[in-house]
A and B are shown apart, each in its own frame.
Chain A
Amino acid sequence: MNRIERHPLLRPANSARRVAFFFDGEALEGFEGEPVSSTLIACGRHIFSRHARDGAPQGIFCANGQCSQCTMLIDGIPKKACMTPLAAGMDVRSLKGLPVLPASDEKLAQAERRSIRTDIFIIGGGPAGLAAAIELGNLGYQVVLADDKTSLGGKLVLQTHKFFGSESDCYAGVRGYEIAKKLEEKARHLPSVSLLSNAPVVGLYKDRKAGIFLNFESYVLVEFTALIVAAGAREKALRFPGWDLPGVIGAGAFQTLVNRDLVKPYEKIMIVGSGNVGLIAAYHALQAGIGVVGIFEAAGRISGYRVHADKIRRAGVPLFLNATIVKAEGDGRVERANVAAVDEHFQPIPGTRRTYDVDAVLVAVGLAPCNEFLEQARRYGIMAVAAGDAAEIAEASSAMYGGKTAAIELARMLGRNVEFHPEWEATRRVLASRPGDSYERAPSIPGAEWRPVFYCSEEIPCNPCATVCPSHSITLKNLRGTIMDLPYFSGERCTGCGACVAICPGLAITLVRRVSEEVAEVVLPWEFNLDVAVGAQMDLVDQGGAFVERAALVAMRSVRARETWLLTFRVSASNASRIAGIRARSRPEFAPRPALTEHEDSILDMVICRCERVTLREAVEFIRKHKLRDANQLKSIRVGMGACGGKTCSQLIAAAFALAGIDPACVEPLTQRPLFMEVPMGALVNEGMHRLGGKEAGARGAP
């Protein structure tokens, strides 16, 4: 079983019941209630179906209910495996060709229209949506918040790392999934706020109503006065030959499998993109015991936080700049990935191709706001405000402030005389800041007393070390006057309590003290499984991951509140102030080999529309033939007509126009229409509520 049995932070739910089910007739086992897709992956089944058009293997892609790539026949009915909870005895089958409509011919017993009415409807229960709900609930508004996932918190639920920002503003130093719980609890306590999970919004309508596919079994219309769109973001796709193979997935999708469902989908992965999402995904992979051959960044610099990148390097993962993936290959799923160095125009440089043996490629090339509901609302003349990633792609900490300010903005639009808090917007902006300048730090010489050493040299919005220090000995050097400023030891006294080491989200603080002329002690944070005892020898590295010395572990303690180990090593005094971390494991052999061919695959053979399997070549030829200036016309070759509703291909259509020699800026964009997710007809009229006896309909999804 490909499951994560042991994780430094996450525990498999003990209550989950093992149940048997069938996959194409073969008896397998999984945990009741987990998504069928994750069960299959845990059972080592990565090819779910074959596409009706060309037999291409289909597997997990978004793991988020958006793309429909994982559609399978479940108890005879086509459903998304990633949104269908496993039940005992379930009959799961690959889709081969088109599904057959079951002959369930019993008369329609009941058709019911269900609707609810509220002042404010919030789409999305991530940090922005929850923060907005809390603010509006405090103002006494009737609020309905709908989120498509089982747990509220949005992507916070998947984040096992400690958050940046400040403790007072946004729970800095707390792990993402803990922040999600705190926010949800706050919102739940407000009497006028209703939180709906498992409630994807499938349509927004002109008559100021939204349709919810509640529990994936019934259809509820929400009538509202005003709207907050906090639907988050979706991962940008990167096109390269082989990008449609099972095993090429978004970094967020990977985190869903690993951190939410605790499956170990892959053994050895490659990550494309060095933003925070890619860097964090690498760390999560390591925590789950998955090898990372490297992070490849086409640009000349790392785009995420330096502290994240350092953390990854110290763990032994190389970061390659000016390099990117050129092809993924394999028989039915990813088995190899080819990379190449790129020039300043991001074009591969001949002769630089290398092949890595990997079973997955994580794409982390940025996020795009899910703003289609906002655009629609504006077109319909509905009062609406966006918050969080749906408004601007930034950190979750900033999204919380986005939610608060959106709530106030909406209340004021509704005529309520509430005070606008300019400082909230200021905080939101600071928290959304891209990394600022970097500063050299003067080398520190260990003395007889404990002293913190900072490996935090780039301005990012973060200060919990300063607020956690019991003797107030850490302060930010006042250059900008915000939490972007860097921390310095300013006090007389360090008790060596380690609070700063344990809270630092970047793992960028150590404690050092000299114990003799030659010998010093260094305290390092550790967030992996700990399989060693005092006395063990471990490889210690500097800020960027270069080996410094092998040293003995002399003390260890767990800081429970931070779920972090503090490990004390005895090292040579001359090295103490440059030892920043511990290599996670001896550097594994992840060396590439020369690529078999330098042959350049024509990108024209790539699939541009994954749902309908339309190639870039077909799109470009159609554009040329008809001298097209309207993306909607591509629908006649079925681009954008698939189950995903154009969510993935709409990002790639511009490339097709550009290749056909047409400036994408003068192309009419694809029109988005409801539904945003397919809903069975029986659910649309709520016949199942009657047929299956209300709530007993259970976890089996739509009838």
Chain B
Amino acid sequence: MKNFDVVILGAGSVGLPLAWQLAERGFSVAVLDEEASWGRGQNRAAIGGVRATHSDPAKIRVCLDSIAIFSSLRQKYGLDVEWRAGGYLYVAYDAKTEAQFRSLLEVQKTAGLSIDWIESGLIQNLAPGISAEGLRGGTFSPGDGYASPLMAASAFHELACRAGAAFFFNARVEGFKTRGENILSVRAGGEDFCASLFINASGAKASDIAKLAGFELPVFPDCHEAGVTEPIERFMEPMIVDVRADAESGNYYFYQAETGQVVFCVTPRPQVWGRDKDSTSGFLPLVVRRMLELYPRLRNLRVRRTWRGMYPMTPDGLPILGYPESEKNFLQIVGMCGQGFMLGPGLGTIVASAISNGSSYAQPAGRTAYGPIFEELSIARDFDHIELLK
């Protein structure tokens, strides 16, 4: 039997920065993960984009916090995560998309995001060679950027270790011991871990963990494939997002990493529900066609590798943050809908701050100003509003 203040289930995009933040605040923290090391669930599959460009104020706020953390890791802690503030560029090739993007600007700016509409000419400067045919302009948010998920996970792991968090790998959750509405301990990897607070940060496995604890979570993973090219001399700055859908796919997006590789991803249509991590033959011909239609000069760029990961989806595309009614000391930070990497550090700060300020089932935000975020992302919400820039 091991005793901690907090036990976090999942050493991934959410669990790692949270462990660091909690340990920094003096909590004794254990992080349990069934993989052999950190970040091996879906963090390894993240492509690395970090944006505060959302349509939902809560997410904008959380991601602004994340960006502040990613961009300061090198200076504050000497840890390189290959962060680059290349910005996010949402391109519009038709009137409907333009109108949609423009309609969001006010909400986004109000939430504190630096974003504006830019004309085609400026887009050509940011991404030389992008197809100008029909390009109406786009929104550009220069503070957004990208980082290496692998290096970021290692950095947060290191920071968490430095702050005293304990990690237990190859520790698969087997079950919970409860008393009344509280969890007493969790059994994982053959050991019992006791704590006063448990946190579910288990990404694509969140609903399985919830089931073991006796409640249902509306988190359903779907599969997405991604790829990376050889490195080349920098030729473009922003993450480019094309939200147009075609018969086989939804949006697709790509950026040039700090180290020169182009990293890309496409949303399959229809969605592929499940947990398959194996590459399929359809991905490359599809995503590459779409990228070349938008950006012909990529034709000479060589694709190096592909992989596949999961988006732990919720019905409305927003994360779940809060306590279930039945397990009052089991905080859920789940359903990141493929954005755990960009939401994780911000959520970690917000949640750690709330916990150290008395967060509980009755008062999830503790004595902090994060009330609206917890309210909006509450597990008890009606999942009927759809996030536009999902």
Contact = CB atoms under 8 A, between A and B. Distances in A.
Interface stretch (B35-43, B68-76, B177-185): B35-43
A681 B288 contact: yes
Interface in B277-294: 278-282, 284-285, 288-289, 291-293
Contacts of B282: 207
Nearest to A642: B304
Chain B: interface secondary structure? mixed
Interface stretch (B188-196, B227-235, B326-334): B227-235
A111 B282 CA distance: 13
Interface in B97-125: none
Contacts of A203: 279, 281, 284, 306
Given A104-B300, A105-B297, A206-B280, A687 B292 contact: yes
Contacts of B279: 203, 205-206, 673-674
A687 B301 CA distance: 13
A607 to B, nearest CB: 18
Interface string B229-261: 111110100000000000000000000000010
Contact of B285 (A107, A113, A674): A113
A585 B39 CA distance: 62
A629 B306 contact: no
Given A636-B154, A675-B305, A207 B37 contact: no
A685 interface: yes
A678 B303 contact: yes
Given A632-B40, A643-B304, A101 B233 contact: yes
B307 interface: yes
B371 interface: no
Contacts of B36: 629-630, 632, 667-668
A633 B154 contact: yes
Nearest to B285: A113
A106 B131 CA distance: 9
Contacts of A373: none
Question: Which of B40, B151, B233, B278 counts the most A-chain CB atoms under 10 A from its CB?
Answer: B278
A441 to B, nearest CB: 57
A451 interface: no
Interface string A434-446: 0000000000000
Interface string A657-687: 0000000000110000111001111101101
B290 to A, nearest CB: 9
Nearest to A100: B233
Contacts of A78: 230, 232, 302
A489 to B, nearest CB: 60
Question: Which of A104, A113, A643, A684 counts the most B-chain CB atoms under 10 A from its CB?
Answer: A684
B358 interface: no
Interface residues of B, number: 53
A205 B280 contact: yes
Question: Which of B154, B232, B284 counts the most A-chain CB atoms under 10 A from its CB?
Answer: B284
A142 B14 CA distance: 50
B276 A101 contact: no
A380 interface: yes
Contacts of B299: 104, 108, 680-682, 687, 703
B153 interface: yes
A626 B291 CA distance: 38
Contact of B297 (A103, A211, A630, A674): A103
A570 B279 CA distance: 69
Contacts of B296: 104-108
Interface string A56-99: 00000000000000000000011000000000000000000111
A221 interface: yes
A635 B278 CA distance: 19
Interface string B49-67: 0000000000000000000
B300 A643 contact: no
B280 A207 contact: yes
A678 B37 contact: no
B306 A673 contact: yes
B171 to A, nearest CB: 12
Nearest to B276: A206
B292 A681 contact: yes
B148 interface: yes
A214 to B, nearest CB: 14
A560 interface: no
Contacts of A636: 148, 150-151, 153-154
B298 interface: yes
Interface string B131-154: 101000000000000001011011
A557 interface: no
B158 interface: yes
Interface in A17-70: 52
A367 interface: no
A173 B132 CA distance: 66
B131 to A, nearest CB: 7
Contacts of A687: 292, 299
A681 B286 CA distance: 11
Contacts of B161: 626
A188 B285 CA distance: 31
B205 interface: no
Given A203-B281, A643-B230, A685 B297 contact: no
Nearest 3 Cβ contacts at the A-B interface: A682-B299, A630-B37, A678-B302
13 contacts: A97-B233, A100-B232, A105-B296, A107-B296, A206-B278, A625-B158, A626-B37, A626-B157, A626-B158, A630-B35, A633-B39, A674-B306, A681-B303
Given A98-B231, A111-B292, A626-B161, 18 more contacts: A78-B232, A103-B128, A103-B129, A105-B129, A107-B131, A203-B279, A205-B279, A209-B281, A380-B278, A625-B158, A632-B40, A633-B38, A633-B154, A673-B279, A673-B307, A674-B279, A680-B299, A687-B292
Interface of A: 52, 77-78, 97-108, 111, 113, 203, 205-207, 209, 211, 219, 221, 379-380, 625-626, 628-630, 632-633, 635-636, 643, 645, 667-668, 673-675, 678-682, 684-685, 687, 703
Interface of B: 35-40, 44, 128-129, 131, 133, 148, 150-151, 153-154, 157-158, 161, 169-170, 229-233, 235, 260, 276, 278-282, 284-285, 288-289, 291-293, 296-307
